[in-house]
Structure 1
Amino acid sequence: MAVINYAYTAPVNRPGQPTLTHAQVWAGLECKVRHGDEFVPAIAECTVISDETTKNANETIVTRDILLNPGNGLNSNATKRLSLREVCTQLAPYRIDFVMENGTMITNSVSSGAEPSELYLTSLFSWRHPDVKDGSAEVEALAAKHEATAKAAVETTLVTMRRLVSEGKINA
């Protein structure tokens, strides 16, 4: 089995773009859990199965079914959509862990920099490929695809957050 790990961080507030607050970014990440198809091009459909706050008021667990488009992420060699169940643990207001039934894990986190408006969005990925031999040429090809997917996921998430704020759908 091959496991491919990768992380990508992007500044949230870049020159020439409307500034997003930490609260807006967090609200955007919460929205991403429930409407992943609006944020991540690899996700064709996202259906929430359950949504519950735990005894710890800062923790919410959302179980969702996602349908991945062929040619993306875990579905890179497929010609049909791939259905997966995913458990999303929100640890407000900084981190969300997305754990797929095959063990693949993605973490989104928002962090602060030295200045109050300095925010960063990081996605950490640990993709599991049980049918791929570790160290093979296929791992190298998958790693390159995953790197592009990771960058696109963070950047499209930020674009979507800005759009939702401008449309008044995120008011935090």
Structure 2
Amino acid sequence: MIEVSKRVPVNEPGQPVLTRSDVWKGLVMKADNALPFVPAMTHCKVLNRESDMVFVREIEFRGERCRERITLVPEQRVEFVRLDGSVLGTILNLIEEDESGLGLRFSFKLKLAGVEDGSPEEIEYGKVVEKDYLKAVDATLAAIRKMKSARDSLIRRYYDVVDSMDLDAFKAMHSANARVTFANFPTVQGADRIAEAIGQFWSTIRGMKHEFVNRWDHPQETILEAAVHYTRKDGSVVTLPCVSILRPEGDQVGELRIFIDVAPVYAEQKIAS
């Protein structure tokens, strides 16, 4: 039996800081399709899903095809159980957190068919597999950091444009088939219609500024809690709570749902003479 357990620190100096949620997102992506993360894997396909958290995939690792049952325990661990092939056993990816910070541990207990426990062949295979999985962990964290940086950049650019109320730049931030739902107004689709609808709202105010309070990142979208400071036509400022759900599409926004009550913006305004 080959048994290995290694812990890799998630956050290194000079790198984007990752949260547990960020790491989990990357593990889910690797479970669905490991090819971008495991250099020695040349095939990966989900065969069936028993539930949202359990599925079977077919992989080809170092020239051999086999099936694995994947079990997801949200934001804690991913378990891979080999169902067939010449190597059977269990592989775990675990998110750990202690006084040293966030860590990603991979461990495996594998049995190489037809090979005696403790034999030179088993020991050599264990070294190769350990090296492969260390590379996979490093590649996974690198990919997560890249995605985090890209999403951070998109959100920052998007709200800089929103707060500037530059309608042309705002329109360009959305994908061709983007969808935006603002408050209780009907959902609009397409960059042109989005710009038209939001432009009508902007025409009723003098300015705005988003102050972010909380953020939650998920594999496909980010939830943003903000205090939005609206400058009304009479020059007064009203601050409103807002929650937005933003779904990226490449380097643009693919969908945005904004939950806010804008009625106070229009209440008791002074009439300019």
With the shorter chain as reference, the TM-score category is 0.7 to 0.9
Q: Does 1:144 pair with 2:127?
A: yes
Residue by residue over 1:112-131, the C-alpha shift from the partner in whole angstroms, topping out at 9 and shown as x without a partner, is 1237xx21000011121012
Cα offset, 1:165, TM superposition: 2.6
Deviations 1:131-157 (A, max 9, x none): 211232212222322332232222122
Bigger relative contact order (CA 8 A; separation at least 6): 1
For 1:162 and 1:122, the matched residues in 2 are separated by: 17
Q: Distance in 2 between matches of 1:143 and 1:53?
A: 32
Tell me, in whole angstroms, the C-alpha distance in 2 between the residues paired with 1:106 and 1:45. Answer: 18
- Residue deviations 1:83-117 (CA, integer Å, cap 9, x gap): 111110001120110011133211001111237xx
In the alignment, does 2:103 pair up with 1:105?
A: no
Any idea what the Cα deviations from partners look like across 1:25-64, whole Å, max 9, x if unmatched? 111111111011111112112111123436xxxxx00211
- Report the AA paired with residue 113 of structure 1: D
Aligned residue in 2 for 1:21: 19
Which one has a larger percent strand, Structure 1 or Structure 2?
Answer: 2
More moved, 21-30 vs 158-167 = 158-167
- Residues in 2 aligned to 1:137 and 1:150: alpha-carbon distance in whole angstroms: 20
Do the aligned residues in 1 keep the contact of 2:115 with 2:122 (CA within 8 Å)? yes
**Structure 2 residue aligned with 1:82:** 64
Task: Tell me the equivalent position of 1:49.
Answer: 47
Aligned equivalents of 1:86, 1:167: Cα separation in 2: 31
Number of residue-to-residue matches in the alignment: 152
Is the CA contact (8 Å cut-off) linking 2:3 and 2:107 kept in structure 1? Answer: yes
Shift of 1:162: 1.6
The equivalent of 2:107 in structure 1 is 124
TM score, norm. by length of structure 1 = 0.80
Contact 2:46 2:58 in 1 (8 A): yes
TM-score, normalising length from structure 2? 0.52
Cα deviation for residue 171 of structure 1 reads: 4.8
Match of 1:162 in 2: 145
Gaps in structure 1 of 5+ consecutive residues: 55-59, 71-80
Matched, 1:32 2:30: yes
Identity %: 31
Distance 2:48 2:112 in 1: 27
- Residue 247 of structure 2: aligned partner: none
CA distance in 1, matches of 2:50, 2:99: 34
- Whole-angstrom CA distance in 2 between matches of 1:14 and 1:129: 35
* C-alpha contact (below 8 Å) 1:9/1:154 kept by paired residues: no
Is contact 1:37-1:46 (8 Å) kept? yes
Question: 3-state SS of the aligned residue for 2:35?
Answer: helix
Residue in 1 that maps onto 2:73: 91
Structure 1 or 2, whichever has the larger Rg, is: 2
Cα separation, 2, equivalents of 1:49 and 1:143: 28
Distance 1:84 1:167 in 2: 34
- Report the alpha carbon displacement of residue 167 of structure 1 after superposing the two structures with TM: 3.9
Change (3 A) 1:93 1:52: farther
